Amino acid sequence: MITLVDQRLRAEAERFRLRFACEECVHFVADQALCEHGYPPGPRREPALDARHTLVFCKEFELV
């Protein structure tokens, strides 16, 4: 799911400590830098929202 990143999302992500990057997901295989479900990790690897205009959320995301 692609979501626009605005000031409200940035503030809420900081306030609630939202996590969404691949490295924070139980399905991410760190030593191979890929998703065990076969999704491309590229769009979801960068957790910083400061310079982003959109954010790609993965439907399979599950916190470690």
What are 44-55's pLDDT values in tens digits?
777 688 888 898
Round the average pLDDT of the chain to a whole number and report it: 89
pLDDT attached to residue 36: 94
pLDDT attached to residue 35: 92
The span from the CA of 26 to the CA of 31, in Å, is 13
pLDDT attached to residue 11: 96
Give pLDDT tens digits for 28-42: 999 999 999 998 877
